[in-house]
Structure 1
């Protein structure tokens, strides 16, 4: 019997699979927190130069003499959103506190700063003074993290295929715990950046194993739901991060609050089974049968009598020719589709992470904005699931990206032409942009898997995933550009970039064929004719090469 046939007999998503799936979703919450952690711990508080010879200098001015001294030693900012210049102060001859001459002064670059503590008591940015000339270092750290995601997806993906989903997932979660403990006491920029790179690699690499294992344990009719719902738990991790950040207000305590639950995952070695599908693909049929029997027993289903020891497989009904990613590059039709999909992956990833990173630039409460950006993912994922079959993959993905792009672009009106009373509208538009990006992110996984032929599906998905990581690496620099520009325009400039790119990528979706309820292509030849239009030479009439609707 084929493994999918066995699952139909013993339960595609029975009690045992639900139990395992629930356990697999819990680490997804932690991974979601880690993937957005740098946005919180690298938050840049309002700051100004530290006044010389004032041991108890704070950002808040508490007496008139102190305030008058600040006004003569630190120039007022030309940016209406800031009080003082953040990186320069006046150098007064003789020193103001010793009766120096105020008329003769020049601007000097700060070497020490004081920070506003109304949002966070301390972040790694304020601890390491990553401001002014070093402000781009925060973007470098974020880029290192998402570059780690890029590397981790490739390496842990290969290890998962070779050594198993369970082993790779477990090693990744153990390393995540150890690295998270280490980064909490990182002493300076370089060690912090390297540790964030490693955390990105093992966190998201483990998430890939979790997602694959959760889909391989269930039957075909439930695979879409389990695969997409995993991403909703990822969103729960973002909202959890917002909550602990609000309660603790210190980057080290935030790290501890996020890595502490990871201790529970040490027990997963004895709880989570290996993927029976992977075991069968590696010829470990007896081990797979043990798990299948246990699944049937807990699901209270009758074990198929046709299965003797190891008499089950995952092979296709007929052998399919081998293919590589180079077959895609040599085919003009497949290459065009691959490039459009790659652009979609890159832009949607850039928008997905970038809109959340831009939460610090939006007016209003930072924690509320960040919480809403995480919360937006949940209706985004569920909305994507609802429209996926009703509107089709092309309209669902393209429409989500265009809607999100319009929402991001629309923020320019309340920010530049409105007043502070409209910051709620700005937050709502950013929320809508993040929700749409979340829906598009969930949909593009399926659209890509269905559109590209079976023989190159895995390789193409991996290449498109690389595009997504490149988009994520660019996101912090675009978000930081708004901070560097400053003013009202700086708060919306990143959203304008994300919005414009989302609309362009969304429109390009309509150059792709629909895959909903179609027999999917297996070979390169089938992929090339899938959804294409030809002109009949006999009568000059247009003939569409249709794909029969699947009966399964």
Structure 2
């Protein structure tokens, strides 16, 4: 149920927040998640009885019921369901919070937006008619599956690590905080693709180092934490790309489908980690393989830095078509690269 909640949260953020604050809001939700996971290690250490621990972990979730009154429904969702009175009420409230006034042209704009929303209603099967969208969906599903497998594996591998289990778990989670910030900052300046490949390469290197220091608790814990930190940075880049590669009508479905596939892939992870009972080095070889394959997979995704969120399937289909495999787009050459791509696109139309 928590996973379903996070999927709904991401979709809600994408639909409600403006483009300028959208990525920052998603990253803030990631930081909140990591902070909560860090507290789990503290509570586990303080509360020895697992029954009381479950109560301590689940009771705070009751605060979510307040969301029913505090957080409005997505205006885009209401518009798509023809619930115009509720849509107008929420938009009026949003305008008031932002210090704006609803103008006389609001009614005509609502009609236009409603017609445009109807045109955007397309089934997810439309993805199957576009090679570009199918490729992006498959690559993102594989990359996210490997990310989830690594995340799950390194957490379950606590039983095979020497040293204090609670301290190891705390280190594995606290290192994610700077990782998320690194990922957000780097992806905004050096691009999503280049940042993800770079961070995932570092994660690959760091996760294989513990194999040579299995009897050193601090060394194993440190390099596992660093590897997870860089993997968290990649995770931020991937989530940005999912929203930027799929059009508005299919964006929420893309988040959902890639997430479900990724979660299904983690089923095999406990069996792999169990091998560590007889061979402590073996799980690290598998974890290294996960992040290495993820690095290769991510390298085939197009760069989406500076591209507006696609509103239609046609806009999403052309993303990456003018990029070669070895092209590098970052903030420094963004304007030049995008201008060249726009010129080529116009020449192709002519």
The TM-score, its normalising length taken from structure 2, stands at 0.82
Cα distance 1:364–1:547, how it changes in 2: closer, same or farther (>3 A)? farther
Residue of 50, 65, 69 corresponding to 1:251:
50
Alignment of 1:319-338 (within 5 A): 324-338=123-137
Cα distance 1:545–1:294, how it changes in 2: closer, same or farther (>3 A)? closer
Q: Does the 8 Å contact 2:146/2:262 carry over to 1?
A: yes
Partner Cα distance (2:313, 2:65) in 1: 43
Residue of 432, 449, 452 corresponding to 2:243:
449
Partner Cα distance (1:451, 1:361) in 2: 39
Partner Cα distance (1:495, 1:381) in 2: 23
Partner Cα distance (2:116, 2:67) in 1: 35
**Higher Cα Rg: structure 1 or 2?**
1
Partner Cα distance (2:133, 2:176) in 1: 31
Q: Per the alignment, in what secondary structure is the counterpart of residue 411 of structure 1?
A: helix
Q: Counterpart of 2:293?
A: 504
More contact order relative to length (CA 8 Å, sep ≥ 6): 2
Partner Cα distance (2:100, 2:313) in 1: 40
Cα distance 1:276–1:520, how it changes in 2: closer, same or farther (>3 A)? closer
Cα distance 1:310–1:545, how it changes in 2: closer, same or farther (>3 A)? closer
Q: Does the 8 Å contact 1:236/1:375 carry over to 2?
A: yes
Cα distance 1:501–1:206, how it changes in 2: closer, same or farther (>3 A)? closer
Q: Counterpart of 2:204?
A: 405
Q: Is 1:470 aligned to 2:264, yes or no?
A: yes
- Give, in angstroms, the shift of residue 512 of structure 1: 2.5
| Aligned residues: CA RMSD | 3.1
Q: Is 1:387 aligned to 2:186, yes or no?
A: yes
Cα distance 1:248–1:519, how it changes in 2: closer, same or farther (>3 A)? closer
Q: Is 1:208 aligned to 2:7, yes or no?
A: yes
Structure in which a larger fraction of residues adopt helix: 2
505-514 vs 456-465, which moves further: 456-465
Q: Does the 8 Å contact 2:246/2:310 carry over to 1?
A: yes
Q: Per the alignment, in what secondary structure is the counterpart of residue 158 of structure 2?
A: helix
Partner Cα distance (1:333, 1:298) in 2: 40
Question: Across the two proteins, how many residue pairs are aligned to each other?
Answer: 329
Partner Cα distance (1:321, 1:264) in 2: 35
Q: Counterpart of 1:427?
A: 221
Q: Counterpart of 1:306?
A: 104
The TM-score, its normalising length taken from structure 1, stands at 0.54
- Give, in angstroms, the shift of residue 228 of structure 1: 2.0
Residue of 303, 311, 321 corresponding to 1:532:
321
Partner Cα distance (2:233, 2:284) in 1: 18
Structure in which a larger fraction of residues adopt strand: 1
Where structure 1 has 5 or more consecutive residues not aligned to the other structure, the ranges are 1-201, 536-543
Partner Cα distance (2:204, 2:95) in 1: 47
Q: Counterpart of 1:368?
A: 167
Partner Cα distance (1:273, 1:318) in 2: 19
Residue of 265, 274, 279 corresponding to 1:480:
274
